[in-house]
């Protein structure tokens, strides 16, 4: 099956070029700049490019940049509005979920809308119920299996897959011995220890973030798919596994990748593998240059504070995010929430669920726990991998926002053309995909 084919060098170069072309169309205020003192900025980029072998077609549907994380303590009061992990890979996955949800919303609003990406499986939505032995989730939507998911990344993922790459992530200078090894290792601490769970890299004096490294999170995606919770309640994970990771040719270390992503082997069992599969990443390399790489910025370069989030079917060109919220918005307001924040994604998932029998869940964590199989799968991973520790709970009521606040919010709606038609302004036409 075409899904299983390795990408040849030429195709890998052109998939990367498709991602960078989408990036070049994003507004400059969302990108690294040159600071007043002349210091050039850089950032990492990750993109989801869908590839359709039968038509030689490539579409960049989601893209993000970023190298920062928000400290754990800010999450407890975030109400789902602050993005915790702003590393490019993780934001790109969120943006991909936003893309798929937007497609589902379009179908829900207009049943005659023919999505090029989504197929509708069950006409009747069943409100998912979870029991100790399983759940009855029958996701209504599914990614069309014609599409193969490629993830372009301009730097090796932080954590275990990058341990042999000097200069990967943000450098630290920690003395060994100051850390308890039973804890997930912070960043590149004890860098000789391989195959273990690590938190995001960062300065050793920065506030604690328990956010797992991109290697750890991506490793898990081989089991849970690119569909995140709670989008997994409406979109079937089965067709949505990342097929290929594309990295720059001079960065790939196959042994590190084998080790870091091989940790998923054997973790899918009969008790947690009904809805889920075990789809191991393949990798390919590209030579296409990326304009804002760390190398391009040179020795004097500094990481940019801004993250860019682009979604093909979003009605805004691209979103700029700083410290986990939309650039220019006031912290704590609904308008500060990115279209890919937990709050906005969960709100739209609830909207999609409510097309069926009334859904009684009230909080975000209840929504997340509805897929008990996924919960068990994650628990298996947690028990199998040394040091896998949960981040602070980002709990919030799903109907917490008051109507006036919702009306004022540009956030969720800006990312969803499906809801744009309910506004007085004329609905924007869907953007044409580029081949």
Interacting residue ranges for Zn ion, rule: CB under 5 A: 87, 158, 214
* Phi, psi angles (nearest 5°) of residue 55: -115, 10
In whole angstroms, how close is the CB of 69 to Zn ion at the nearest point?
A: 8
**Between 158 and 220, whose beta carbon lies closer to Zn ion?**
158
Q: Pairing state of beta strands 242-248 and 282-286?
A: parallel
- Considering the complex, what minimum distance in angstroms separates the CB of residue 260 from Zn ion? 12
Beta strands in 213-299 (DSSP E): 235-236, 242-248, 282-286
- Give counts: helices (H), strands (E), the chain: 12, 15
> Looking at beta carbons only, is 27 or 207 nearer to Zn ion?
207
* Peptide bond preceding 230 in cis form (omega within 30 of 0): yes
* Burial class (CB within 10 angstroms; exposed 0-12, middle 13-18, buried 19+) of 7: buried
For the chain, how are helix, strand and coil distributed in percent, rounded to 5? 30, 15, 50
Question: Please, which residues bridge with residue 235 across strands?
Answer: 141
Shortest distance (Å) from residue 350 CB to Zn ion = 29
Distance between start and end Cα atoms, the chain: 22
Q: Cβ of residue 188: shortest distance to Zn ion, in angstroms?
A: 12
**Closest of 158, 219, 161, 200 to residue 391, by C-alpha:** 200
| Long-range Cβ contacts of 27-30 (<8 Å, 24+ apart) | 27/317, 27/318, 29/320, 29/327, 30/65, 30/306, 30/308, 30/318, 30/319, 30/320
Closest approach, Cβ 242 to Zn ion, in A, equals 15
Pick 158 or 320: Cβ nearer Zn ion: 158
| Integer CA distances (angstroms), 145 to 1, 50, 54, 239, 431, in order | 11, 11, 12, 6, 22
**Structure token pair of residue 84:** 């915790």
At closest approach, how far in Å is the CB of 340 from Zn ion?
16
Task: Give the single-character DSSP code of 198.
Answer: B
- Closest CB 87 distance from Zn ion, rounded Å: 3
Rounded to a whole number of angstroms, the CA Rg of the chain reads 20
Instruction: Kindly state the smallest distance separating residue 300's Cβ from Zn ion, in Å.
Output: 23
Three-state DSSP at 278 gives: coil
Q: Which residue number, 64 or 118, has a Cβ lying nearer to Zn ion? A: 64
d(CA 19, CA 238): 24
Closer to Zn ion by Cβ: residue 306 or 350:
306
Nearer to Zn ion, 93 or 418 (CB): 93
Q: Which is nearer to Zn ion, 126 or 391 (CB)?
A: 391
Which C-beta is closer to Zn ion: that of 246 or that of 352? 246
* Least distance (Å) between residue 65 CB and Zn ion: 12
CB of 119 or CB of 170, closer to Zn ion = 170
């Amino acid at each position: 099956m075409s899904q299983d084919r390795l990408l040849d060098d030429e195709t890998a170069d052109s998939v990367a070029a498709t991602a960078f072309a989408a990036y070049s169309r994003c507004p400059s205020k969302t990108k690294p700049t040159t600071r007043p003192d002349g210091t050039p900025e850089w950032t990492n980029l990750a993109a989801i490019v869908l590839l359709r072998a039968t038509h030689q077609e490539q579409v960049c549907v989601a893209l993000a940049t970023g190298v920062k994380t928000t400290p754990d303590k800010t999450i407890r009061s975030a109400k789902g509005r602050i993005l915790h992990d702003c590393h490019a890979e993780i934001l790109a996955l969120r943006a991909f979920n936003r893309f798929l949800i937007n497609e589902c919303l379009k179908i829900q609003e207009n049943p005659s809308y023919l999505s090029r990406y989504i197929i509708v499986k069950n006409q009747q939505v069943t409100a998912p119920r979870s029991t100790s032995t399983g759940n009855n989730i029958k996701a209504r939507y599914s990614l069309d299996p014609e599409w193969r998911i490629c993830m372009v990344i301009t730097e090796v993922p932080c954590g275990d897959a990058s341990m042999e790459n000097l200069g990967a992530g943000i450098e630290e200078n920690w003395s060994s011995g100051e850390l308890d090894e039973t804890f997930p290792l912070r960043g590149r601490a004890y860098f000789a220890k391989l195959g273990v769970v690590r938190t995001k890299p960062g300065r050793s004096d920065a506030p604690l973030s328990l956010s797992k490294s991109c290697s750890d999170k991506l490793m898990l995606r081989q089991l849970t798919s690119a569909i995140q919770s709670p989008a997994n309640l409406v979109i079937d994970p089965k067709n949505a596994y990342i097929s290929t990771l594309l990295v720059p040719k001079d960065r790939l270390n196959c042994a590190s990748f084998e080790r870091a992503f091989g940790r998923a082997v054997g973790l899918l069992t009969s008790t947690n593998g009904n809805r889920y599969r075990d789809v191991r990443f393949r990798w390919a390399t590209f030579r296409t240059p990326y304009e804002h790489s760390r190398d391009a910025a040179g020795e004097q370069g500094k990481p940019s504070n801004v993250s860019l989030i682009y979604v093909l079917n979003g009605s805004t060109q691209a979103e700029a995010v700083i410290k986990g919220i939309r650039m220019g918005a006031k912290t704590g307001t609904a308008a500060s929430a990115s279209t890919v924040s937990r709050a906005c994604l969960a709100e739209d998932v609830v909207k999609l669920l409510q097309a069926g029998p009334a859904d009684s869940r009230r909080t975000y964590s209840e929504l997340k726990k509805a897929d008990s199989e996924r919960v068990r799968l994650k628990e298996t991973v947690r028990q199998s991998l040394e040091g896998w520790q949960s981040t602070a709970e980002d709990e919030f009521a799903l109907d917490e926002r008051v109507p006036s606040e919702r009306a004022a919010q540009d956030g969720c709606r800006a990312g969803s053309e499906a809801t744009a038609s309910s506004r007085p302004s004329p609905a924007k036409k869907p953007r044409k995909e580029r081949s």
